[in-house]
């Protein structure tokens, strides 16, 4: 569900988007910040020409779009072409949390009485440097 509308968000995989590349399929879809846009009807209206969009057809265009320096108006206009979002597992915009590592060697008690830990690598490195 989306926070804004309360409606369920429909999701695509990267493979599903890749099909709509304007070549194998007449539709031209792009991904910007994990959101899928059908820009087929906009190709002829794009100020820089449709070729700039079709270069990213079926792909994630986030870096290219941002590197070009599109205006806030362009970003607002893009919202009109939103059709779906990328499935959670394949999103690039959300950093995947690394599992927390609990291993370490207790070195000594800190002034607050809590034990401090260092990894084996830091102990070896400190021993080599000292």
Q: Residue 68 sits in a domain of what CATH number?
A: 3.10.120.10
Cα–Cα distance between 41 and 62 in angstroms, integer? 20
Domain annotation covers residue 6: no
Is the distance from CB of 40 to CB of 53 less than 8 angstroms?
no
| DSSP-derived pairing of the beta strands 29-32 and 35-38 | antiparallel
> Model's pTM, two decimal places?
0.66
For the chain, percent of residues with pLDDT exceeding 90: 56
pLDDT class for 73, splitting at 50, 70, 90? very high
> How do strand 29-32 and strand 115-118 relate by DSSP bridges?
unpaired
| Total of domains in the chain | 2
Whether 108 and 86 share a structural domain: no
């Amino acid at each position: 569900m989306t926070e804004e509308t309360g409606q369920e968000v429909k999701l695509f995989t990267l493979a599903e988007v890749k099909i709509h590349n304007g070549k194998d399929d007449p539709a031209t879809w792009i991904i910007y910040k994990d959101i899928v846009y059908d820009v087929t009807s906009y190709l002829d209206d794009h100020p820089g020409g449709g070729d700039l969009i079709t270069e990213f057809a079926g792909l994630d265009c986030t870096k290219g779009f941002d590197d070009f320096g599109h205006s806030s108006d362009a970003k607002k206009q893009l919202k009109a072409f939103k059709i779906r979002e990328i499935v959670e597992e394949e999103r690039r915009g959300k950093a995947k949390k690394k599992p927390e590592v609990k291993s370490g060697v207790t070195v000594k008690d800190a002034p607050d009485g809590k034990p401090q830990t260092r990894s084996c690598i830091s102990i070896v490195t400190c021993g080599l440097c000292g």
